[in-house]
Amino acid sequence: MNEAIFTTNNLWLLVATCLVFIMHLGFASLEAGFVQRKNTVNILFKNCMILSIGLLTYYAMGFNLMYPGADYAGGFFGFGGFGISMPEGAAGAIDYNSGTYTYYTDFIFQAMFAATCCTIVSGAVAERIKLVPFLGFCILFVSISYPITGMWQWGGGWLSAAGFHDFAGSTLVHAVGGWGALAAIILLGARKGKYTSEGINPIPGHNMPLAAIGVFLLWFGWFGFNGGSVLSADPVGVSLVFVTTSLAAAGGAVAAFFVSHLLFKTHDLSMVLNGILGGLVGITAGADLMSPGEAIIIGAIAGAIIPISVVFIDTKLKLDDPVGATSVHLVCGLWGTLAVGLFGSKAGIGQLWIQLYSTLAIGVFTFIFAFAVMYVLKVTVGIRVTEEEEEKGLDVSEHDMNAYQESEKMENYSLAVK
């Protein structure tokens, strides 16, 4: 391997790592905008801790659980030991992974992905979950559940051997986070006042500009999420993924715009924002396989799914998801994974069947694991704040501070005057 090519590949992976890191700022901004003002600090706090927990647990055991080594190829489980240790000399550098990047680059790029799955859960359970039990859930979810199912495919496990294709994680990252979110909101219950005898009471987010900024940051970071998953600086591969990723996001936005208007007779910004994210999630499994036209179709179908799924989950299942995480990451993640069998160079009945049973296997394992962990927490330490704490807001009850000091003072002054 030419040293200049090795350096270029390694540098691109590190740049992509920085872009994926920016996605955590995007998630924090999006979730903060979609919740009530009184819960803003809580959302930001959780996102800071999730990233930190993700890095530490992935260092401690997650990386070697997800990538246990060639001895476990085709298996269901493997573990390479605790901590990380870079092979000495060229083995950890130019000779590592066919000379495309170093051992440390491999670790830090994958670690940024690991924290994302719990960030997805964070938004879904917003405004009523206890902080410490949630962080405990994240430790177990990121250190055990996510790496095991990741090993099945990216670590050379049984799904990889079967021919499953999930380029950057429509299932392995996004649907995994979505399954965790679904299990959590089932056990947690809806926010106080959401479902009443008179019907469903919408609880709008407090800062749509912040939510929009979050989506643009996520779109920006997705160039690293998908582009970095080429795992080299290959000009053709990276440029194709940039194009398919962007076109799918655009298709998702436009489709969500039309479908949400048909359903609600208004132009709903939150639906378009989630439509963009749905398109991004949808293309992530096959961004390396699709033509630009196919990427638009996949993104558009994902965007059209968003308002339909949000309404179904909210009104039919009566599951309270403040940010629409289950629709964006679970439903669109499943769609994007199946799309690999319908579009692109791998399309075919055989591949579609592989995609279907693979994503279902991952889903069953993840849902059972997340449900079991959250249930144990619920019956032991409890996972939900009291009604009084929820009414007051988690910023005050959990953190003893407000996100907007001047606004709070003006509100209190107005109440006093009245």
pTM: 0.94
**pLDDT for residue 188:** 96
Q: Say yes or no to pLDDT of 271 above 80.
A: yes
Residue 365 clears pLDDT 90, i.e. is over it: yes
Distance between CA 44 and CA 47 in Å, rounded? 5
Rounded Cα distance between 337 and 327, Å, is: 14
Whether the per-residue pLDDT at 309 is higher than 90: the answer is yes
Sequence letter at residue 86: M
Q: What is the dihedral of CA 159, 339, 138, 76, to 10 degrees?
A: -10
Q: Using an 8 Å Cβ cutoff, are 107 and 92 in contact?
A: no
Q: What is the CATH number of domain 8-72+85-410?
A: 1.10.3430.10
Strongest mean pLDDT among 96-100, 192-196, 376-380:
376-380
Q: What does the block give as tokens for 109? A: 């790029």
Tens-digit pLDDT profile for residues 401-417: 999 986 555 555 454 55
What is the structure's pLDDT at 70? 83
Are 166 and 346 a contacting pair, CB within 8 Å? Answer: no
Query: Which one has a higher pLDDT value, 277 or 91?
Result: 277
Residue 408 has a pLDDT of: 55
Q: Tell me: the pLDDT tens digits for 227-264?
A: 999 999 999 999 999 999 999 999 999 999 999 999 99
In tens, the pLDDT along 189-222 reads 999 989 988 888 889 999 999 999 999 999 999 9
| Mean pLDDT score, 310-324 | 94
* Domain assignments of the chain as residue spans, ordered by start: 8-72+85-410
pLDDT at 415: 47
